[in-house]
Amino acid sequence: MKLLIVEDNARVSGLLKRGLENQGYQIYISEDAEEALLILKRVKFDLVITDIMLHKMDGLELSKKIKKNYEDLPIIMLTALGTIDEKIEGFDAGADDYMVKPFELRELYARIKAVLQRRGLTHNLPKKEFLTYRNLKINENTKSVFRDDIEISLTPKEFKLLHFMMENPERLLTRDEIAESVWGNNFDTGTNYIDVYITYLRKKIDKNFEEKLIHTKSGMGFILTYNL
């Protein structure tokens, strides 16, 4: 499925692109609304994600133009503007959904699926085979892990932990989030299992590579990133 992201912050658009590509979507990026309208003339999209605060033409005006020319094309707005009046203005401009920054990528994934489902489009979602970040790759079918095409052997729990981190790249993950997603409701929060497994994972994933990907933020959580 093709998604168009209209966002003038390169860091935000890059994060969204990597995260959504890992979910199996084909992503196009536009830095302004006028360019987005030109891209829409050339490419058939399944959904548009747009910021409101854009140069030249804002996301509200862009949404109105999209709905005028592509009535059935769903739109999700991402913005720091979060009052009730601002949300209503967004919906009145044609937004199918509206998310206030900052937000979690997992919630965006769920919102996208919900919007597409309402539009009857989810049957077109591709089957995801690989999950990638930088030179690190997971094969979803074989449950194998590679870095620079070198296979890395992980235990089932290590694999599940890495998989969760790769689904949420460049986002600080708290111990509670990891516990719930990797260990489930029966996790004993009084243990240091998560820290121990992060250490195991770091040794296997980062030890033989100059670029370190798994990082600990003391007292806060853990993050998969190359830029720290």
The pLDDT tens digits along the chain (228 residues) read: 899 999 988 988 999 998 998 888 999 999 999 999 999 999 999 999 999 988 889 999 999 999 999 988 999 998 887 788 888 888 888 888 888 888 888 889 988 988 888 777 654 555 567 899 999 999 988 889 999 989 999 988 899 899 999 988 888 898 888 888 887 755 666 678 889 999 999 999 999 899 999 999 887 899 999 876
The predicted pLDDT at position 43 comes to: 92
H/E run at residue 29 = strand 26-30
* Confidence (pTM): 0.58
How many distinct helices (H) and strands (E) make up the chain? 8, 11
**Residue 144 tokens, joined:** 């194998």
Q: Nearest 5°: phi and psi at 52?
A: -90, -45
Q: Where are the domains of the chain?
A: 2-124, 130-224
**Residue 75, beta-bridge partner list:** 48
Correct CATH for 130-224 of 1.10.10.10, 1.20.1250.20, 1.50.10.20, 3.40.30.20: 1.10.10.10
Decide if 2-124 and 130-224 have a common fold. Answer: no
Architecture of domain 2-124: 3-Layer(aba) Sandwich (3.40)
Say which DSSP state 180 is in: I
**Residue 222 tokens, joined:** 């853990």
**Residue 224, beta-bridge partner list:** 214
Separation CA 1–CA 212 (nearest Å): 32
